[in-house]
Structure formats: structure tokens, C-alpha cells
Amino acid sequence: MTRLLLTLVALNAVLLALEIPRHAGLGPYGLAWEAVLLVGLFALLPAGRLARSLAWLIGAVLLALVVLALFDALTRASLTRPLNVVQDWVLLDAVYRLVTGNLGAFTTGLLGLVLAVGLVTVVWGASRGLHALARTAPDHRGHPRVPSFVALGLLLVGLAGTLAAMRGVAPPATAAPGFGLVQQQVMAGQAAIAENRRFRTQLEATREQAQGRPFPGLDGIDVILGLVESYGVSTVFDERYAPVIVPVLDQVGDDLEAAGLHVVTGVLEAPIAGGQSWLAHASLLSGLQVRYAGHYDALQAEPRDTLVQDFQATGHRTAMLAPAIQLDWPEGRWFGWDRIVDKHDFDYAGPPFFWVTMPDQYTWSFFEEQVRASSDAPIFAMLALVSSHAPWTPILPVMEDWDTIGDGGVFHEWAGKGPPPERLWRDFDRVREYYAESVRYSLEVTGAYAARHVDDQTLFFMLGDHQPAALVTGQDTSWAVPVHVISGDPALLEPFLERGFVPGMQPPGEHADYGFDALRGWMRDAFGASSNVDG
């Protein structure tokens, strides 16, 4: 009986731990019905090959559930939504590259080894504990070590409780976490399949409308999209970050005004939060809200025009600057940019800063000198900035003299400065401080570029690509991002005021009425001669 109770307690703890991701901590439950069911079942089984094999099978199932719960926790913390195996399995490689880019291969391998040992220990302990409950020889008085009526009662009570929990009628403080996790993924998978089918249908229905059309109202106008990594509305409306970010926005606004420029600000809902910036880029360009990797793959399964082709039809040269891209990028080529500048195409001679390949100030300097100034036609460009990407260390100063940036060798001065990620990330409060400072840096740099180089022949967008991870914002925050539109010609900003944008650098609110998919249609309505893209 002592062994039965110890096994019940241990199994109960492991199964209830599966609820931690969903509740961001210990859930409101004290009893997992599957634990009761399993100890009752094994207390009835005779010792032998069947009990041993079944014990290892249950251990393997527990291992799979624990791994699933760990990935669920990682997804909720990084992407601010639950895991969906059908949609998310393709992200494993991206997660590995992100972790190794921040922590290094050795630290990543060491953490993986520790995790593997812990998981194997769970399997081994569960299997040994359950097999030890199987009926062996009776005690010295001829009685079974666990009375049959106790074992049968536990089995029946555990089965009834599990079925009740699966139907949502279990007694308070009880649950069936294992079955619940499987049920959650089955339902999520079914929803994903249906959503992917709807997206493919939408793709086909809007194919003709998506054909590239010129923007006569932007003939001769440089149009630049500067996407600030992880810049979401939380930076403005969360009291932890507003004291850092709001004054920066005010200062940028003052600098723009001093340069004779005008700015309006609104909010758009990003298709994602925490990561997968390429989905945000695809949504802005295509006029469709691309939320999952499966949507992205479906989008690129066939040729399709986007904002890139719209501007090419207007007579613009198009360019994508992606300093974080280090591998072959056929997905980027699908968009049909005239020029793609990835990490290897910059002439950067400075150091990387963990995952950040080069600072944003260098990216803007390179763009102005090597892309925009050398173009013999108006430019349409998207810059995927990276300085405010995790791990948010070190924080660089903004260099007042842009002429000293050159090939970026000047940034060697800050190599090795700031705490390494493995030390910084031991204190989440400190991580949040560094996050705010990294966004401040990127906003200051981008605002300084605009004040220097935007004029009445430029339409400049400074916007976030998505909200940061849930460990920064919390789970239940808006997915909206600020969108600042800047120009020396106030007439170019009028269409955005009509869409609810307000003068100045401060967003009008933290919730958006429109998503990223709206931008292409707005551009067509305001500056083209065709109807909105339906998406």
C-alpha cells in the first residue's frame, strides 16, 4: 500500500505538470484521474511480461506527453499562443537556429543533454513504479499485497473521473491532463486543417484581384518600410516599458518636425506575436493575413503578385534588406524583388552581437549609400531590422556622426560588451529592461534616419513587425503594432488620417480594427486606380 501511494503521488505530480503551460504555472487542480486509473490497473495485473511491457509503454506515452507539454510551454512563451503540432512542427529547425544563435552550440547541446536525462528519468521512474505494483506473491498471511477491492475501486474511480473530465463535468480541482492535452492537439489539428483549406480557397478566389497594378499617386515617390523587430503596442501602453519608449517617440516627433516633416500614427494587428517575422512581411506585401507556416507555403506554391509587383508596375526599383538571413532564401526570391540584400551582401566589417548580425544604424546607413542613392529610379524597399531581436544584449549607443559608420568596423568597440545571454536571461525582470532599451535604440536610429533622409518625395513607414514574446508582454495582450507614416508632403498622409490614424508619434490605442493584410488595399485605394484587394 505504501508503494501504491508513493506511485500515485509521483504519477499525479507528473500528469498535473502537463497543465503548467496552459495556466502559466501550477494549475487549480490537485488530482489527475489518469494517475488513479493507472495505479488501479497495475495493482490488478499479474507480474510478468505483460505488466512489464505495458509499464514501458505507459512510460513512453508519458515521455511523449511531457515533450508535448514542453513544446506547448515554449510556443506560448515565444509565440503567445498554444502549440498546434499540425502547424508548428516545421518550426523545429528555426527554433534550433535561434537558440544556438543566442546561446551557442555548446550551451545548447548541454541544455539538451540535461533535458534528455531528465525526460529519460521520468520514463524510467514511471515504468519501474507501475511495474512494481503488479501482483506478486501474497504476504506471509496469504493475502494479496494490495487488496483486490482496493485496486478495482481505484481503477473504476479513475476511469469514471477521466471520462467525466473529458466531458467537462469532473469534480472541482480534478482533471485528466494527459487526455486533455491529446484532445487539445486533436482539436487544434482539425482546426488547422480547416483553416489551411480556407486559406487556399481564399488564395484562389483572390488570384485575379492580386495581379500587380500601378500606383499613379506614388509615381516618383520613394516608399520605404522599416520594420522594427518586436516593436508592439505594449511598449507604449505597458507601464513597464512606456517610461522608456514614450519619451523616445516624443523626441523623434520633435526631430521630424524640426526637419520639416509630418507624421501620423495608427495601429495594425500583426498576424503573429513573438516571432516568425516572415509571416508579417508576407501579410504586408500580399494583402492576406498569413498566420502560419502552412499559409506561407500555400501562398508561395504558385506565382502571385504582391506590393512588389505593384511598385514595379509603377516604375520603382524594389529591394529587400534582410540582415538576419544567412542561408539560401528561395522564399525571398519568390516575391520577385529586384534586389535582395542578405547578411552576405552587406559589406559589414563589424562584429555580430549574438543573434543580431549587424546593428540597425549600419543597416540604414548601407541602405542609403548603397541602395537608395545608387538607384536610377524611385525605390520601394522593405528593411527587416534586427537590433531589437532577442537576446537584447548588448545595447549600443546611437552614433551622432553617421559619416563615421562606413563599413561598420567602428562597432568593434562594443564587441563583448553587456552581459552574455546565458547570464542576462537568469533574471526576467532584467531581460525586460534590456528589451525596452533595445527597442528604444532601434526607434532612435530609425527616427534619426527619417529626419535626415525623408523629404516630400518620400513615403516612409516605421512600424513593428509583431509584439514580443509572452514573457515580455504577458499572454492576453493585443497583437497590434504601432505604424508611423512620415513624409515631407502632408497630402501623402491624408489617406491614413481617413483610416483612423492620428497626427504625431503616439498610437491612438492598443487595439487595431485592421490587420497587416489591409495595407495593400489601402495603398490601392489611396494611390492607385483599382479596387481594394479582397483579403
**What band does 472 get if pLDDT is binned at 50, 70 and 90?**
confident
Amino acid symbol at 127: S
* Residues in the chain, total: 535
Kindly report, as residue ranges, where domains of CATH 3.40.720.10 are found in the chain. 212-527
Contacts of 137 (CB under 8 A, 6+ apart): none
Contacts of 189 (CB under 8 A, 6+ apart): 84, 85, 86
Percent of the chain with pLDDT over 70: 90
485-507: per-residue pLDDT in tens? 999 999 999 999 999 999 999 99
The mean per-residue pLDDT over the stretch 140-156 comes to: 65
Q: Sign of the CA dihedral 78, 191, 31, 129?
A: negative
CATH placement of domain 212-527: 3.40.720.10
Note the pLDDT of residue 25: 72
Is the pLDDT reported for residue 534 higher than 50?
Answer: no
118-134: per-residue pLDDT in tens? 767 777 777 776 766 76
**Contact, 318 vs 339, CB < 8 A?**
yes
According to DSSP, residue 135 is labeled: B
Question: Widest CA span of the chain, in angstroms?
Answer: 99
How confident is the prediction for the chain on average, in pLDDT? 86
Which of 207-211, 274-278, 433-437 holds the top average pLDDT?
A: 433-437
Note the pLDDT of residue 137: 40
**Phi then psi for 265, rounded to 5 degrees?**
-135, 140
Across 68-77, 86-95, 278-287, least confident range:
86-95
**Contact, 81 vs 279, CB < 8 A?**
no
Q: Which three cell numbers stand for residue 494?
A: 491624408
78-124: per-residue pLDDT in tens? 777 788 887 776 666 666 565 565 556 666 677 667 777 776 777 77
Across 121-135, 288-302, 303-317, least confident range:
121-135
**Contact, 42 vs 131, CB < 8 A?**
yes
Rounded-to-integer distance, Cα 533 and Cα 100, Å: 40
pTM value is: 0.82
Note the pLDDT of residue 113: 75
**Phi then psi for 503, rounded to 5 degrees?**
-65, 145
Helix extents (H) in 148-176: 148-166
